[in-house]
Amino acid sequence: MSTGQQDDRERSDRAGECLTRVLELFERMGAAREVRLEDINGVNPRHRFSAANLVDYAAVRAQDVRDLQAELSSLGLSSLGRMESDVAQHLSAVAHTLAAVAGQEPPRLPDLDAGIIPGEDPRPGPLTLARNTVRLLGQAPEDRDTRIMVTMPSEAADDPALVARMVGAGMDVARINCAHDGPDEWSRMIEHLRDAAAEFGRDLRIAMDLAGPKVRTGPLAPGPRVEKIKPDRDATGHVVRPARLWLGASYSDDDVPSVPVTPATWLAERTEGERIHVRDARDSGRTLRVVEAHDDGVLVEFSKTVYFATGIVLRSRDGAEAVLGELPETEQYLRIGIGDTLRLLDSTEPVAVTDESPARIGCTLPEAFRDVREGQRVWLDDGKLGGVIRSAGPEHMDLEITHAGPAGTKLKAEKGINFPDTDLSIRSLTERDREDLRFVARHADIVNMSFVRSAQDVADLLEQLSELDATSVDVTLKIETVGGFEQLPMMLLAAMRWQDSGVMIARGDLAVETGFERMAEVQQEILWLCEAGHVPVIWATQVLQGLAKKGVPSRAEITDAAQGQRAECVMLNKGPFVVEAIQTLSSVLQRMAGHAAKRTDLMRKLRAWSEFVR
């Protein structure tokens, strides 16, 4: 046998071995479809092909096929790295090619559709995803395929010009968060959005976020009514700009603080250049110089730090007196360090900030105290503070802090709490959500379900929408928790019972729950699974955040925004420079449009969803 013949024989044998492996995958796909037959048949007929393909993909990814991928690649064949959109068709083509290389008859593949009720005629997977994306998110602009969703700021309710600039800059989907503002403000926002969409001829969609059962720290008792005002100093401590304060009801310059003073007649008698004497909250004597005098107040300057407090007496040179009015209460906080104990209370009553140990603060979710166990992790304030539960009872739980800043971390009221290891026995649809849905059903194109964690949560939402006769409102599932990530296959099948649905990767809470180290692979796995189900994905949280808030992006933000092109939509949050952020994101997505498909994925076993196909 010549060397060439020997090489051909070796290649034929390797192809035969690969064919055996591929046929085994078909058997696993058939078994998985049998396990999920009722779920597949229960979806909207338009999504039946997508549901079956989702199950196929989960069955394949329940195995580690990286060695098979490498062998197929060495034979010059498809390495399976882009099979998500039509698994059976892709594997069928590979199997027939392998049979030809191995010198065998075309393989007899199992009938995967046995028992499945026929749905709409399937089209190629990428076309199905494209169709679903248009139905959910509207037509894409001519110069890019990825849509842009933007969170509406509160001022949009009364600033139609801002809304028009956002639409003109490239916003395709407007997101209104029901956790903020109210129906009156939402209505005005929507009116401005519809007007702007008509002006620019845009296929603009309106999505509304339900607040969901967000777990937060409880209130802290407010501090004293004191306001500290100090001058600007250079590195050597010399004053480079004196402090300024308006004595009166309000002042036109937002950068100058103001404090109320009574009686008003005292203010009207002050003159420019006059000096006012005061003993502040520390009993330190200070002098304030009048630089502007008006009938309704005076502007004063001073070169030393002053602690102003309610009731402090102001004295003019002629002995006339006035009193500072009611100042706002100062916001209190706890400072927590590594090794400290933090006690979470089953209470929403304000807790006094003291030097006593352990530090205490309330938790807004009573069910947490029933469900948590010792040794489970807890994260607070978007991962800035973390700890492990050392003791738990019906009234409180004690955390040993394991993650904090070098000098400790400030913890304030109304900060998020995450229980990544705890199976919280709560439903995602709250009573407030049900009330807000009445508005959403009449005005929105899409409802975004927050903190969804199970197929039952999805069913609850669909039932409520049906009762409200809102079958035209599409649904997006926000994946924010470990539980939601692990239950994603079942939640997608539940959502496919509806006409159109999508998934939002809410990377803020999800990163806290999964751990920052794992976040990159988790978001990629969500993209894979959703592509298999032909479900549009919204890439969300902190995209171009520096640009939107401060006007200047970081290099990492630009790279992150470019990676968002792998999804069907990228979400921007609100900020003073949101219009500039929309323009920049649109430009980045246009430039990346030709590069997205240049990748091959290695398919190790995905353990998160292995039980789904058993």
Asked whether residue 602 carries a pLDDT value surpassing 70, the answer given is no
369-404: b (≥16 Cβ within 10 Å) or e: beebeeebbbbbbebbbbbbbeebeeebbbbbbeeb
Burial of 260 (C-beta count, 10 Å sphere; 0-12/13-18/19+): middle
Q: Which of 143, 162, 177 is nearest to 436 (CA)?
A: 177
Asked whether residue 598 carries a pLDDT value surpassing 50, the answer given is no
| Percent of all residues in the chain with a pLDDT value above 90, rounded to a whole number | 77
Token pair listed for 359 = 């530090």
Asked whether residue 172 carries a pLDDT value surpassing 50, the answer given is yes
> What would the pLDDT profile of 245-267 be if each residue is shown by its tens digit?
999 876 556 678 889 999 989 99
The pLDDT of residue 597 is: 46
Asked whether residue 337 carries a pLDDT value surpassing 50, the answer given is yes
Report DSSP state, residue 434: H
> What would the pLDDT profile of 71-94 be if each residue is shown by its tens digit?
999 998 888 888 999 999 999 999
Cα–Cα distance between 454 and 527 in angstroms, integer? 19
Cα–Cα distance between 399 and 592 in angstroms, integer? 45
Q: What is the CA radius of gyration of the chain?
A: 31
Report DSSP state, residue 220: B
> What would the pLDDT profile of 544-589 be if each residue is shown by its tens digit?
888 888 888 888 888 888 888 889 999 999 999 999 999 999 998 9
Q: How many CA atoms lie within 13 A of 575 on its CB side?
A: 22
Question: Are the beta carbons of 48 and 40 closer than 8 angstroms?
Answer: yes
Measured in degrees and rounded to the nearest 5, phi and psi for residue 183 equal -55, -40
Strand, helix or coil for residue 491: helix
How many CB atoms are located within 10 Å of the residue 543 CB?
23
Q: Which residues contact 224 (CB under 8 A, 6 or more apart)?
A: 281, 309, 329, 330
In degrees, rounded to 5, the angle at the alpha carbon of residue 186 between the alpha carbons of residues 469 and 478 is: 65
Asked whether residue 599 carries a pLDDT value surpassing 80, the answer given is no
Provide the pLDDT confidence category of residue 2 given band limits of 50, 70 and 90: low
Question: Phi/psi class of residue 235: alpha, beta or left (left: φ > 0; alpha: ψ in -120 to 50)?
Answer: alpha
Cα–Cα distance between 149 and 574 in angstroms, integer? 11
Q: Which of 137, 84, 117 is nearest to 533 (CA)?
A: 84
Residue type present at position 385: L
> What would the pLDDT profile of 221-230 be if each residue is shown by its tens digit?
998 889 999 9
Cα–Cα distance between 129 and 501 in angstroms, integer? 11
Query: Mean pLDDT, to the nearest integer, of 92-118?
Result: 93
44-82: b (≥16 Cβ within 10 Å) or e: bebbbbbbbbbbbbbbbbbbebeebbebbeebebbbbee
One DSSP character per residue, 493-515 reads HHHTTSS-EEEEEEHHHHHHHH-
What are the start-end ranges of the E strands in 239-393? 239-241, 243-248, 258-259, 261-262, 275-279, 285-294, 297-302, 306-309, 313-315, 321-324, 334-336, 341-345, 359-362, 377-380, 385-392
Provide the Cα torsion 478, 480, 482, 487; round to 10°. -10
Report DSSP state, residue 359: E
Asked whether residue 539 carries a pLDDT value surpassing 70, the answer given is yes
Asked whether residue 402 carries a pLDDT value surpassing 50, the answer given is yes
The pLDDT of residue 230 is: 94
The alpha carbon of residue 520 and the mean position of all alpha carbons in its chain are separated, in whole angstroms, by: 15
Asked whether residue 476 carries a pLDDT value surpassing 60, the answer given is yes
> What would the pLDDT profile of 175-215 be if each residue is shown by its tens digit?
999 999 999 999 999 999 999 999 999 999 999 999 999 89
Mean pLDDT of the chain: 92
Question: Are the beta carbons of 369 and 420 closer than 8 angstroms?
Answer: no
Asked whether residue 5 carries a pLDDT value surpassing 80, the answer given is no
The pLDDT of residue 122 is: 73
Burial of 143 (C-beta count, 10 Å sphere; 0-12/13-18/19+): exposed
Do you know the residue count of the chain? 614
Cα–Cα distance between 419 and 411 in angstroms, integer? 17
Cα–Cα distance between 391 and 378 in angstroms, integer? 12
The pLDDT of residue 533 is: 97
The pLDDT of residue 8 is: 75
Q: Which of 208, 149, 150 is nearest to 176 (CA)?
A: 208
Find the farthest-apart pair of alpha carbons in the chain and give their distance in angstroms, rounded: 119
> What would the pLDDT profile of 358-371 be if each residue is shown by its tens digit?
999 999 999 999 99
Question: Is the model more confident about 7 or about 398?
Answer: 398
Provide the pLDDT confidence category of residue 48 given band limits of 50, 70 and 90: very high
Asked whether residue 62 carries a pLDDT value surpassing 70, the answer given is yes
